[in-house]
Structure 1
Amino acid sequence: MTTPSTLPAAPGPTPAPAPAAVPAPLPRRRRRAPKAPSALLSRAGVTALLALATLYTLLPLTWLLLSSTKSRADLFGTNGFAPGREMHLAENLEQLITADGGVYLRWILNTVAYAGVGALLAAVFGVAAGYAFDKLAFPGKERLFSLVLLGVMVPGTALAIPLFLLAAEAGLVNTFWSVFLPGLVFPFGVYLARVFSASHVPDEVLEAARMDGASEFRAFRTIAFPMLAPGFVTIFLFQFTQIWNSFFLPLVMLSDQDLYPVNLGLYVWYSSALSQGHPEDYLLAVVGSLVAVAPLIAVFLMLQRFWKSGMTAGAVK
């Protein structure tokens, strides 16, 4: 018995592949609502902080102004921020000027000499040194500038005793020069002047001046220095304020009251009121403090436009 032969199946159409499984859609993530700005960073918070800072700054000056208008009885018998029963400012100023033979005016003149002339010369030296460190090439420049930066980090009070010993060796103790000469050195001014020179004085302008035959000093005096005027004013303001408020160095150097700056003289009056029982000296110290603040405010108001132009000079570059 024969078995039928197995015939191959006729070729048919190729079956289509099964469709791939489509992944289920992921759940939508909810967008987080933007965080509200912190109360400290909001406009109202910043305004409130600035208002507190302004109040903190003006409160001592307000107390000083109100106390200077009072009589001695009102000064100790009324609230510090309340006006006196009568206005005594003119009388207090007259007593201030005539006290101890007019020594207060001498203190003011001494302080103007220490701070005004000293800060002016310190600003000139600082601008010249900063320009030299920036534009001139000389051996050991960066090492010398590192010493300048080291001088910036050392507080002035830490140098008072070494300066006293040097002045004693030179025979300058209890003289005008013992307070005036240290004010001519201002390391931070040198650093600031180098920064201003790098950003405000183009090298191309100096090269053109040198090609025209200008000396280094003439290029600095006629070209670089006018460009550095905002930096000069800034350095002058910083050093003027620092010398005007200086206390410890004159305290160490001076024993002659005719050479005192105004801060040291006011301290003598205040100490006399506390230790020797002279309440009139306390009122003199209060009124004298108000008068001593006035030159600082006047100098800043007169020179602030130069300072602002220097601070914003790079904003439109």
Structure 2
Amino acid sequence: MHLGMTGWVHIRGEQTALDNSVKKTKESDKDEWPPRFCKFHLKTEGKPEVEVAFTDARRLGRVRLVDCPGKDIRKYSPLVENGPDPVIDLDIFTEQYLKNKMRSRHVPIKAFLLDQTMISGIGNWVADETLYHAKLHPEQYCDEFSDAEITSLFKSIRYVCQTAVDKLGDSGQFPEHWLFSYRWGKGSKGHSLPNGETLAFIKVGGRTSCYVPAVQKKTGHIPPKAETMPFKGATGDEASKKPSTEKAEKRKETAKRKPELAEDETNAPATAPTKKKTRKMGEHDTEPSDETRNVGSRRSTRLRGK
């Protein structure tokens, strides 16, 4: 199962963790079964039987049936194509594994972390959280980090993923110093951490990434024409930053040329303004004859008839 943005698994008679849809459901609808937006539900064999329902209001989730023994499901597609899980596969996901994979690619580290063929289970916010704790810039190429930085990233991945699993993904129990609680709603007033560090946003690998510029410094190269989107209300250097996109560069170039254009216009020789030619109704200007009017009228009538 891939839950997407709004998919969830319900168990009849049980309150499943992170079931935000239940909190927003009317009291009269909470006992409804199968629940609203249910796409399928099933019952287990044996006693007591358990009923499970999969709901997805936006239909972004995916469910695939795989005919294989349950314990071997990760040996079958599509799971066999995935990389190791940082919580379960401790014998595979090692610091050396991470170092080898990072040195074999030349992509921004954020894009590397989101690649499920490299590491399973790291989504957008998890990647941002791990990079923040490791103090690594999300745009820097993954093959340009030092051994010490890779060690820090490995520990950060293990820490963030294990903590999230231990809390069953309940963000209300995440540590206060995590980026998670302050990253949502870019452009709002909550643009900084409690310690005063300013948050900013950039596009990396097609995804919006939240990071802390004062903490996550660049120590290597990043892709050209990176787009920076600081919070509204940011102070200091972050407030003065503008997106270094192609359009922004063109505007800068135009601004540089404006003084030159103005000077050229000033030095240009003055020329008399040209007057528009006007004609008065005279002997050469005749109104359409009655015959011409009749032809036009007949043509219009024929077209309307068709």
Instruction: Compute the TM-score of the two structures, normalised by the length of structure 2.
Output: 0.23
Structure with a larger share of its residues in strand:
2
Instruction: Compute the TM-score of the two structures, normalised by the length of structure 1.
Output: 0.22
Structure with a larger share of its residues in helix:
1
Structure of higher CA gyration radius: 1
